[in-house]
Structures are given as structure tokens and as C-alpha cells.
Structure 1
């Protein structure tokens, strides 16, 4: 059999698998948070208070939470191609319909429906990618994938600011209405592309040679849990899954606190022009891209996840504190936002290496969805908290202190993941959960053991 170079194999896979997924993620995040740019205009045109805006921004995540697990279980049955295409087409249509908002009630309803439509997309993509990458490769792959999250700020920030400035009054519509239309239509079109071109099964693609397919299959089988199939009910009983959900909630609290309020925070530093806000918005995202690549590469190279995630939480907390202490100092405030965003966005790519190999089949889809949907409830709490605090105090300082504290809690929770109390909580290969260096035996006949997840090096 012809020898297969693993690095060449996964470069080929990444070139085929990642682009569509990344474009979808880019548009997904852009359609979630573009109301951050529209916020000041919605307030001026429709009289929305900060609390109304924060509640509407957060209601997305209530719909997302309710329908996330059912959506991902359907995906596991019908396949990634058809279900992800359905998700993108429906959420693109609803995002564009945000242009029709004329009251708080309609704003709340469409934001809720947008969450319903998008439920299942990100865990569905993560589930899809777990079928192409073994755990030892996922930190790097997801580090690249999550660049799309930061790129939505780097590219989407200037685009959103430019659309607001250039389309005001065009065809009798406000700039914020055009913003929702311009950023919703491409999502629908990409959904159609995915329906025809997303490739789901490595065993059937023509761009992999037979030895490459065999090598990939062997790598994925070696890291599969020995049980072969874990009942979905075990997901809800696992203390580790709920601990990871708490970690993910902490991360999302900072992510969406930043995302939905960053344009407002930038305006608070003295920048009022929409185009200027859009370009400054890109700076924290650029910092995040650099940090994400470094954290993803380092965690894979060292085969260590826990301390990397805790360090990212700490970096983000420091950034929020710097932002608070900056006061009216625009340069220091922007530096604080860059640190906060760099730390927060470095968490998910490494975090998902914690658990995507814990379970198989339906339970894998359900486990990802449970952590993602419950953790994303922070997306409801954070925007509403900041909006309510700003209405009450005319300042976001208290909310930023709370966010910094929650990031420290998230880091502390991560550091508690030290030992495994039952084989139900972790796969035979601890690194598949992203918890340590050395892999325990895997596959039929592997011994069931309870062991520390920290390597001797990590213990030092």
C-alpha cells in the first residue's frame, strides 16, 4: 500500500471541507450580531431603549436554546448537507425580514424566529467536521474554522458601517433596513450552494485516493470510544458534560456581551461616524485571529487543552478590566477591547476538542447540541444585562465588571476538570476530550480505567 503523509492528507481535506463551513459560519455570526451596528439607528427611528434592544438581541438565544437539540438530532438522521442548507435558507430569509421591523413586538418576534431558524447550525458543522478530523487534528482545524468568527468582525465591521452610511434613504429605506437585506440574501444563496456541493462522506469523495480514505478511516476508528454507541440519556446524566456547559456559558457571556455592544462601546470612546466605527470594530477581531491561531496550534502541539482554555479566559478578563480602567482614553480602551476579544475568541476552537469524541452517533450530536444550546443562553443574559445597566446608570462599567468576573469563573471551572469519576464521563482516549497528553487504549477490549487527565508535564 502506498504510504500516506498525514500532513498532506489533512491539508487536502481542509482545502475541501473548511471553505464552505467557514463562509457559512461567517454569515451566521454576521446575521446574529449586525443589529449591534443597527442599534443606534433603531433607537433613533423606532425609539428603542437600551433594555428593549438588549432583550431583542437576547431573545435570539431563547429560540436557539429550545430548538437546538431537536435540530441537531434531525441533522444526524437526514445528513449535514440537507439540514444545514435548510438552516441557512430559512435564517437568511428571516434576517432579511428584519428590515420590516416597526415595533418592539415585531423586533422580539423576528429575533426569536431567527434563533429558531439557526438552531443546530454550529453544532451541526462541528459534528460534520468530527467526521473528517480525528481529535489530534481538531484543535488546528477548528482554530482555522473559527477564524471565520473573527473575520466577521474584520470584514463585516467595515461592510456594515459602509452599508449604513451609503444606503441611507436609498429607495425610501433607512440604512439599517438595507443592512439586514444586504447581509441576509447571501446567506440564502449559500444555503442553495451547500445543498448541491457539501460533501458528507469521506468514503465517497473522488478527490481522496483509496490509500488516503483508508488512512483517514483508520485514524477516526482508533479514536472512537470503545462502546461504539452511547445512549443519548447518558449525555444528560454526565457531570462532565454539565461542567463543560458551565465553561461554555462563561465564554458566551463575554462573546455576546462584546458582539452586541461593541459598536456602542466604540461610540462611547468618542467615535460617532458609522464608517469609522466599522473599521475600529475590525481591530479586536484582527487581534482575535492572531490569538486563535496561536492557541489552536499550541494546544495541539502540546496535546494540552485545559490550561490553554483557562489562559484564554484570564486574558479576556484582563482585557475587560483594562477597558474599564481606560475611562475616556480611546487608545487604552481599544487595547482593552482587543485583549478581551482575543481571549474570548481563542476559547471555542480549543474547547470543542474537549468533548466531540466523548460520544458517538446520535449521542454525539445531542452532546454537542446540549452544551452549545445551554451555554448559548448567555447570549440572552449578557446583552439584556448590559442594556438594563446602561439604562439605569448611563454607563456599561458595572456590566463589564460582571463580565470580567464571569470570565474568571469560566477559567476556574476549566481548571476543575482534573480527574474523571466514571467511564461514562470520558472516552478511553483522554485527549479526544482534550484533557491530557497520553492516550489510553481504545477500541474493543480496551480496559476501562479511571485516571487523572493531567500529564506529568501538565502537573508541573
Structure 2
């Protein structure tokens, strides 16, 4: 089957182009109710996932780990993530978002805090694997949850807004992690990195309990909406579903070539994303910044730029209903930034930080912009499984990327070649995006 045939999404719906003032206010009400809370949960999730990058600044010397050991341990997270992600999202679709998301958050909080006991490469690998197993389903679950509330024409902006939690986790987590590691080192006989894991696990426990009280499973169960508001929101979701082809079974969904093309594109996005986020503290240090706290403060610069880029591009993508170039351009910018930071090296700290900022703005913007593509043709249980499948396969790059950088750094004593490889992968992913016919995804 040809690609142009498999990407049949129907005509662009004019129902979403013309919205009444009441409808706008209703969606604003929904957004203020659920999106900031979901963002806060994801900030905590992402911080607990990648704070190992900051722990590396002390952990490797304390435990005598090599960069290869660190890269492998950072990446092993995604094996557990891969194995349980699809089942987790299917369970969420059946039992409801509130209970299942709370379960995910409470489980990963306990495991994340237990990282203080890591002492050998084996325990490091095992803990990272189980952290991935525990957190599996959270991100695709939230993407699925947003499809319960927003039609396709509104979804790109919401996903981009939600995913600004990634760079915000860097803006907040960088200085916070640096401060904890520097200020708590030696307190009660524990190292700074041990305190960091314990302290940064506490918010996940609090928010996991809050999910049970605050979050609704969907439109109909939301007591803060009137009956008329619920009817309008459900009507929009039903109209949106009519333009999608419902897969009769999970086997049919997995045999759909679009799912695998989306997974390939997302794999390329994730290669850049985790290569940058796991190694950002090391790259900042390589650029010439000294001291754990200073490194933490400087990581806030690239992440702050990424927040702005994600919000601007998400709004623009929905305004013009254009999806391909809104994904391709950030991927190209990410590649340019990675190459530029490698070329700058330690000779010019300011230029190196500037290129890392360009890389972060491009790489971190590409992931949320990507999700406007698969959610344009997946619905129902196929959306639950399809989103999770794409995310889990794509996130295998989360294993490849940090391990690749660590192995190359050990062999060459430099991260330059690894950054060139990540840039090439982003360019390849952008090329694949351009093979998707514009008329079939711009909606």
C-alpha cells in the first residue's frame, strides 16, 4: 500500500475553524483546569527520569563508574519503559486515567528515592530498569487523556503546552539539583547525589495522591462542567472521530504502516532529546562552566529558550493547520545546534552555550509537534495502543542515545563525534517527515 493511500484522514473540518465565543471560553476553562496540573506532574516525572544526568557529576567519581556504565544505565530505563508501555495505556483506557496515573506516580516515586542505595553498576542498571517499568504509560497516557478532551485542531497547542514541562523541568531542576548536591553533601553521612534522589522523589508522592482527588477520567465525570458544556465538548470529540478510521483490532492497528512510519520519525526526535537532556550537564561543563551549582544555573538557559520555542511553534501549528514544516524546521535547528556546540568546544564558552540553546529549542520542540501527526488518524482503543506503541518504540532511542554518547566519550575522550551522529539522525528524521503528503496530515 502506498504511503499516500495509508494516510487518508478526510477533509479538514470547518467545524473547528469557526468557534463561538462560548466554545472558546469553555475550552479555556478546560485548559486551566487540567493542563497546568498535568504539566506539574510531568515536570516531576521528567525530573526524576533525567536527574541522573546531574548525579553523574558526583556519582561517577564516588562509585568509580565509567561514562559507558553511566550511558548504559541511563538507557536501560527505556527497556522497562518499552516492555510495559502498551499494556499500561490499554489498562488506563479501561480502568480510567485517575487511578492509573496515580499508581504510576506513586510507584516511580518510591523507586526514584531508592536510588540513594545504588553502589554498583549492576544495582544501577536494575534500578533504572524498574524505574522505566514503573513510569511506563505516564506520557502516552497523558497524550491519550488529552484526546478525550480536545479535537485534532486544538490538540497540537495543548500537547506543546503540556510538553513545555520538559524544558521547565530543566529550568527548575538544573539549579535545584545543583543546589541540593552542593548544599547537602555530607549531611548525615550521605553524598549530595543521594540527597538529590531522595528530595526530588517527594513531590511525586504528593502529586500522586493529589491525582486521586483532582483529576477526572473524562468529560462526563467532570463535576466542574455544566451539562451543556459537557454536551458541546463531547459533540466536538464525536465530530473529530468521524474523520478517523477506527481499527477493528489491535492486530490491524499494528499492521498499519502509518504507525511504523510515525515510530521511525519519533525515534529520530527522541535520539536528539535524550542525547541532550541526559548529557546537558556534561556538555555545559565541557563548554567551560565550573562548579555543580553554576552548571545547574547555566542549564536553565537552553531550557528557557525551549519553553518559548515550544509555545510559539505549537500555537503557529494550530493556527495555520500545518504540521510537516512545523516539525521539520525544529529538527533541522536541533541538528545545527548540536554540530555548532561540538565545533565550539571549549574554545569559546559563550558560542558553545548559544549553540546548545539553539539545539535545545529545536530538539525539545520537535517531540510535542510530532504528536499532531499520529493523533490525526488514531482513535478509540487503537489510540490507546497506537500512541503507546509509537512512544515505546520511539523511546528505544532513549537507550541508544545516552549509551552511544557514553561509549564514544570513553573511546575518544570527547562528545563531538556523538553530537555529529545525533545531528545526522535528526536530519534523517526530517527527511522522513517530508515523505508524508502535506494534504493528508495538515488538519
Q: TM-score range by the shorter chain?
A: over 0.9
**Mapped partners of 1:413, 1:66: distance in 2:** 26
2:235 is paired with a residue of what secondary structure? helix
Q: Is contact 1:134–1:220 with CA below 8 Å preserved after alignment? A: yes
Counterpart check, 1:161 vs 2:160: no
Counterpart check, 1:305 vs 2:323: yes
**Mapped partners of 1:227, 1:366: distance in 2:** 15
Counterpart check, 1:69 vs 2:75: no
Structure 1 partner of 2:3: none
- Structure 2 gap segments, 5+ residues each: 1-19
**Mapped partners of 2:329, 2:393: distance in 1:** 23
Q: Is contact 2:270–2:367 with CA below 8 Å preserved after alignment? A: no
1:356-390 deviations in Å (ceiling 9; x for gaps): 24232221100000000000000000000000011
Structure 1 partner of 2:266: 248
Counterpart check, 1:290 vs 2:296: no
> Aligned-residue CA RMSD in angstroms?
1.3
**Mapped partners of 1:237, 1:270: distance in 2:** 49
Structure 2 partner of 1:318: 336
Higher relative contact order (CA 8 A, sep 6+): 2
**Mapped partners of 1:4, 1:271: distance in 2:** 50
Structure 2 partner of 1:341: 360
**Mapped partners of 1:228, 1:248: distance in 2:** 22
1:211-247 deviations in Å (ceiling 9; x for gaps): 2222111111111046555421122111111111011
Which of residues 431, 436, 457 is equivalent to 2:442? 436
Q: Is contact 1:150–1:286 with CA below 8 Å preserved after alignment? A: yes
Alignment of 1:210-249 (within 5 A): 210-225=227-242, 230-249=248-267
Which of residues 215, 222, 232 is equivalent to 1:198? 215
Q: Is contact 1:223–1:357 with CA below 8 Å preserved after alignment? A: no
Which of residues 140, 150, 156 is equivalent to 2:157? 140
**Mapped partners of 1:40, 1:209: distance in 2:** 52
**Mapped partners of 1:337, 1:193: distance in 2:** 36
Structure 1 partner of 2:295: 277
Q: TM-score scaled by structure 2?
A: 0.93
**Mapped partners of 1:394, 1:417: distance in 2:** 39
Structure 1 partner of 2:394: 375
**Mapped partners of 1:177, 1:230: distance in 2:** 49
Structure 1 residue 348: deviation in Å? 2.1
Structure 1 partner of 2:14: none
Structure 1 residue 4: deviation in Å? 5.8
Q: 1:412 to 1:229 in 2, by over 3 A?
A: closer
Structure 1 partner of 2:36: 19
Q: TM-score scaled by structure 1?
A: 0.90
Structure 1 residue 44: deviation in Å? 1.1
1:93 is paired with a residue of what secondary structure? helix
Structure 1 residue 210: deviation in Å? 2.5
Structure 1 residue 171: deviation in Å? 1.1
1:277-324 deviations in Å (ceiling 9; x for gaps): 011000110110111011101110110101110111101011011111
Structure 1 residue 189: deviation in Å? 1.6
Q: Is contact 2:163–2:368 with CA below 8 Å preserved after alignment? A: yes
Counterpart check, 1:122 vs 2:164: no
Structure 1 partner of 2:73: 56
Structure 1 residue 94: deviation in Å? 0.2
2:225 is paired with a residue of what secondary structure? coil
Q: Is contact 1:99–1:180 with CA below 8 Å preserved after alignment? A: yes
Counterpart check, 1:413 vs 2:419: no
**Mapped partners of 1:411, 1:17: distance in 2:** 32
Structure 2 partner of 1:364: 383
Moved over 4 A (4+): 226-229
Counterpart check, 1:186 vs 2:203: yes
Question: Which deviates more, 388-397 or 321-330?
Answer: 321-330
- Structure 1 gap segments, 5+ residues each: 421-429, 438-460
Q: What is the aligned residue count?
A: 422
Structure 1 residue 9: deviation in Å? 1.3
Structure 1 residue 169: deviation in Å? 0.5
Question: Which deviates more, 292-301 or 359-368?
Answer: 359-368
1:182 is paired with a residue of what secondary structure? helix
Q: Is contact 1:37–1:263 with CA below 8 Å preserved after alignment? A: yes
Question: Which deviates more, 80-89 or 183-192?
Answer: 183-192
Structure 1 partner of 2:121: 104
